[in-house]
Structure formats: C-alpha cells, structure tokens
Amino acid sequence: MRKTDQKRQHILDTAYRLFRSNGFEKTTMSEITAAAGGSKATVYNYFPSKEELFLECMVNITDHLLEGLFAGLQDPKADVSAALLNLGKDILRLTCTPEMLASRRLVIAEAARSGIGKLFHEKTLHYMQELAAFLRGAMQDGYLREADPLQAAYDFRALLEADILERCLLGATKAPPSAAAVSRAARNAVAAFLRAYAMDRTTSGR
Amino acid sequence: MRKTDRKRRQILDAAYRLFRDNGFEKTTMAQVATAAGGSKATVYNYFPSKEELFVECVTSLCDHYLDAAFAGLRNPRADLSAALSRLSKNTPRLTCTPEMVAARRLLISNADHSGIGSLFYGRTREYVRDLADFLRRAMDSGQLRKDDPVLAAQQLRALAEAEILERCLLDAEAMPPSSATISRTARNAVKLFFRIYAPLRHATLDQRSASGDTVPDSSG
C-alpha cells in the first residue's frame, strides 16, 4: 500500500469508528482529525466534506466485509445448486453480522442527506452485477432458463433475505443468526429460486 | 366509534403529525398530550411508552392502507391470481410512500438501542399470518403445491417488495415509485411465485403455461 493510501485508509478507519459509536450528526471533522492525528487540511485533502467521508467509510467497510464473496464462486457447470447454496449462505452470513447491520443502519439513517444513500447504492451495485454474471453463465450453459440475469440476481437475493434480514435490521432477532438459521434460509431460497428459474420443459433441449 | 376509541384515534393522529414533523427523538409524550388535548396520564393510559405509541402510529397507517387488499384475501371465493397481484401492488404502494419509508428508516436506525424495531416487526406478523392463511387454503384446494404457507407468504412479499424498498430506503427511487415500476415488480413477483408453487401433479403443464403470456395476471 502506498503511503497516501495508508493515510487515507487510516482516516477512513478512524472516521468509521467515530461514526459507528456517535452517529453521523454528532461526529465532527475536528474530532476525526484529532483521533486520526494530523491536520484538518490533510483530512479535507482526501475528503472534501463530512458527507463524502461518511459515504467512503460506508462503501469501504462494505467492501471490506464482503471481500472475497464471489472469489470462491464455483463454476456453475460443477453443480449450480451447490454453488448457489454456498453463495447464499455466505451472503447471509456476511449481511447479518452485527458489523454489517450497524453500517447498513447508519447508511439508511443518513440516506436522504446529500445523496449519500443513492451514491452508496450505485457504488455497491457491482455486487449485484457480479451475481448476475454468475447467473448469466448458468443460463448460457442451460442450467437455468433464459431470463434477465440482473432481475434474477435481485430475485435470488430477495428470496435469500426474505424475513431474516428484516428481522435482523429491525433488531427483532439476535445477530448474527445461528448457522442453522442461515442454512435453513439459504436452502429455502435456493429451492425456490431453482423452481422459479428452472428450464422450461418445452424449450429445454437437455 | 366508541368514546375511548375516539380518544385513542385523537392521540394517534396528534402523535403521527408530531413524529412526522419533528422525528421520534424530539417528540415528547407531553407534546403529544397537549396536541391531543388531554393529560400525559391519559396518553400513558392508552400507550405505555413512546416506543409503543410510535409503532401504533406506523401500524395504524399500514392497517388503513392494507385493509382493503387483505379483506380480499378473506373472501373464500377470491381469485387467487387476482388477489396476489393486487396485494403485490398494494404492499409496495404503502411501504414505499415517503411517510412509511421515513418511519422505517427511523425504526431501523434506532433498532439497536430501543425496542421499537422489534415491536414493529411483531405487529406486522399479522399480515404475514393473514397471507399465509390465504395461501394455506389455496394449497389445500390444490391451486398451489403443498408447502410451508408462512415461508410462501414471506417469499411473495420479498419478491414484490425487497428490491424496490431497498432503493427507497437508500433514497435511490422515487417515493412513491411510479405505477409502472410497481406493476412491473408485482408482475414479476406473481409470475415467479406461481412457478415456485405450481402444483406438482400438473408440473409440466403449469410450467408451460407459466412461461408464456397465459400467466394469470390481472395487473392491467
């Protein structure tokens, strides 16, 4: 990591800690500067406003927590159902950690401020596109019926997170959910998804 | 309306306006009492805490908007596809209004240090139960494959709402979303739902019909 990248990351880590414990409103750039060690000018040099710093913090922690999510994705040819099950469990495990829930709550709370939510949505959209790319592969190989892969990605995620994520976000259940609860939710989602996107018998050559 | 119901309604209306204008944190029970024209004791008599008052405000808004769609589910002769389409459109129409999105943001952002999120989640289970009861009857009569009706209810709601609601929560979607967006999402949700829960006996036939334009859809 280059020195400027190190400095930037250090500011992000410090700011995240403060945002996480005090919220957006009560955290000031002066506090962040003091905690990070350095001048306000340095912080502003990297991040022109508190809003931008906050956004970068949230994208940064999301990327950090979701790191490697798609790296272990198996070739759909191996076994599309097993690949989806593993991916589904990984997604649920990562999105329902206390850390991830806390940052999601922070983003949602400040979403309407200076376009923070919208920008966050755009900057994390690539996760859905990566999921869509995997599903497109499975469609091309004839394991799933031809359909809009991005829509299919959203459908997979909706089925996966149905109830369990809402329960976690609203604090109606302990986070993280048990491994058994995660497995059950992933199994239910994959079974439903495979029925929803099964090859049409009339068009399937396989 | 009985007198106590009227008083309760007055408190809820006053509280709703205050929560909407000033947020949860800055609204006090004393303010609610004054605005509703009563004493703090009266307010506490109906609502044991500010948290419960807030959740009641939000859920009475839900009840108001969703009652008609859910009443359709209780009709034993209701057409399955029409009822599910209607519900799939009406749910995001309510949950994605600016008021409901603001309320949900508040519930979510306060969830880790107060019980309001959990309280709200508990209250909304009634809707899932109503939908599940409806789906159970459709499963019993062979219109849908036999499976866990509560899971099916949660899945239908997720398919109709998850993506659109997340965009709203992140302020990345118009509130309320356009009727074109809502209709497209609802059509997709109902279509997938029928694929997932097509009765097993007629699997081949149903899959064929579900793949074409003959999909039951009354979205108009």
Lowest mean pLDDT among A86-95, B18-27, B43-52, B201-210: B201-210
pLDDT at B135: 96
Mean pLDDT of chain B: 88
Q: Which two tokens stand for residue A7?
A: 């400095």
Please report the pLDDT score of residue A38 as a whole number. 85
The answer, yes or no, to whether residue A202 has pLDDT greater than 70, is: no
Asked which of A46-55, A123-132, B48-57, B74-83 is least confident by mean pLDDT, the reply is: B74-83
CB pairs under 8 A between A and B: 107
Contacts of B192 in chain A (CB under 8 A): 155, 196
Q: Which residue of B has its CA nearest to A112?
A: B171
Q: What is residue B113's predicted lDDT score, i.e. its pLDDT?
A: 81
Task: State yes or no: pLDDT of B54 exceeds 90.
Answer: yes
Contacts of B156 (CB under 8 A, 6+ apart): B84, B87, B88, B131, B135, B189, B190, B193
**Which pair of structure tokens corresponds to residue A1?**
């990591």
Contact A121 B208 (CB under 8 A): no
Given B108, B154, B171, which is nearest A118 (Cβ)?
A: B171
ipTM greater than cut 0.95: no
Instruction: Return the number of other C-beta atoms located less than 10 Å from residue A188's C-beta.
Output: 22
What pLDDT is stored for residue B219 in this prediction? 42
> Is the minimum CB–CB distance between B108 and chain A shorter than 8 Å?
yes
* Residue B114, token pair as written in the block: 């107060």
Which of A117, A172, A201 is facing B171, going by the closest CB pair? A117
pLDDT bucket at B22, cuts 50 / 70 / 90: confident
Nearest chain A residue to B172 by CA distance is A118
As a whole number, mean pLDDT of residues A29-46 equals 93
To 5 degrees, how large is the angle CA A70–CA A71–CA A72?
95
B1 touches chain A (CB under 8 A): no
Nearest 5°: phi and psi at B109?
-75, -20
Of B109, B159, B163, the CB nearest to A105: B109
Residue B213: pLDDT over 60: no
pLDDT over 80 at B205, yes or no: no
Confidence of residue B201 (pLDDT cuts 50, 70, 90): low
Find the CB nearest B188 among A108, A109, A151.
A151
- Distance separating alpha carbons of residues B78 and B71, to the nearest angstrom: 10
Q: What is the predicted pLDDT for the residue at A130?
A: 92
Do the Cβ atoms of A170 and B204 come within 8 Å? no
Per-residue pLDDT averaged across A4-15, rounded? Answer: 93
Residues B78, B68 contacting (CB under 8 angstroms)? no
Q: What is the mean pLDDT of chain A?
A: 91
pLDDT of residue A201: 67
CA B160 to chain centre: 11
Q: How many residues does chain A have?
A: 206
Cβ contact A159–B120 (<8 Å): no
Residues of B in contact with A198 (CB under 8 A): 195, 207
**What local confidence, expressed as pLDDT, does residue B2 receive?**
72
> Mean per-residue pLDDT for B7-11?
93
Taking CA atoms, B198 is separated from B4, B155, B205, in Å, by 48, 14, 10
pLDDT at position B21: 86
Rounded average pLDDT over B197-208: 62
The mean pLDDT of A182-201, rounded to a whole number, is 94
**Predicted pLDDT of residue B217:** 43
Closest approach of A205 to chain B, Cα-based (Å) = 14
**What distances in angstroms separate CA A46 from CA A56, A99, A146, one per listed residue?**
10, 25, 45
Least Cα distance to A95 among A196, A154, A156, A182 occurs for A182
Give the pTM.
Answer: 0.88
CB A114 within 8 A of CB A120: no
* Cβ pair B191, A197 in contact under 8 A: no
Is residue A19 within 8 A of residue A27, CB to CB? The reply is yes
Whats the size of chain B, residue-wise? 220
**B residues 127-186 near A, CB within 8 Å?**
151, 154-155, 157-159, 161-163, 167, 169-172
The pLDDT value recorded for residue B209 is 45
A162–B115: do the CB atoms touch at under 8 Å? Answer: no
The pLDDT of residue A67 is 86
Give residue-wise pLDDT tens across range B120-158. 999 999 999 999 999 999 999 999 999 999 999 999 999
- Distance CA(B56)–CA(B47), nearest Å, equals 9
Q: What is d(CA B204, CA B62) in angstroms, rounded to the nearest whole number?
A: 39
DSSP label at residue B200: G
Instruction: Compute the distance between CA of residue A192 and CA of residue B152 in angstroms, rounded to an integer.
Output: 9
pLDDT in tens, A104-132: 999 999 999 999 999 999 999 999 999 99
Q: How far apart are CA A24 and CA A18, in angstroms?
A: 8
Q: Does B118 touch chain A (CB under 8 A)?
A: yes
The more confident residue out of B69 and B156 is B156
**3-state class (DSSP) for residue B151:** helix
Q: A108 vs B105: CB contact, 8 Å cut-off?
A: yes
Average pLDDT over residues B151-166: 96
Sequence-ordered list of residues with C-beta below 8 angstroms from that of B34, at least 6 positions apart, any chain? none
The letter for the amino acid at A90 is: D
With a CB cutoff of 8 Å and minimum separation 6, the contacts of B197 are B135, B139, B144, B145, B147, B152
Residues of B in contact with A170 (CB under 8 A): 107-108, 111, 117-118, 120-121
- Which of A163, A188, A197, A203 should we substitute to test contact with B (largest number of B Cβ atoms within 10 Å)? A163
pLDDT in tens, A89-103: 999 999 999 999 999
Percent of chain B exceeding pLDDT 90 equals: 70
Tokens of A195: 């029925």
| pLDDT for residue B178 is more than 80 | yes
> What pLDDT sits at residue A58?
96
**What pLDDT score does A205 carry?**
43
**Quick one: which of B132, B62, B56 has its CA closest to B96?**
B62
What are the distances in angstroms from CA B58 to CA A194, B37, B97, B119, B123?
A: 36, 21, 12, 11, 10
Q: Mean per-residue pLDDT for A27-49?
A: 93
Choice among A25-34, A135-144, B17-26, B91-100 with the minimum mean pLDDT: B17-26
Nearest to A108 among B120, B169, B211 (CB): B169
Q: How far is A41 from chain B (nearest CA, A)?
A: 30
| Own/partner long-range contacts of B133-142 (Cβ < 8 Å, ≥24 apart) | B133/B73, B134/B73, B134/B74, B134/B78, B134/B83, B135/B197, B137/B76, B138/B80, B139/B197, B142/B199, B142/B201
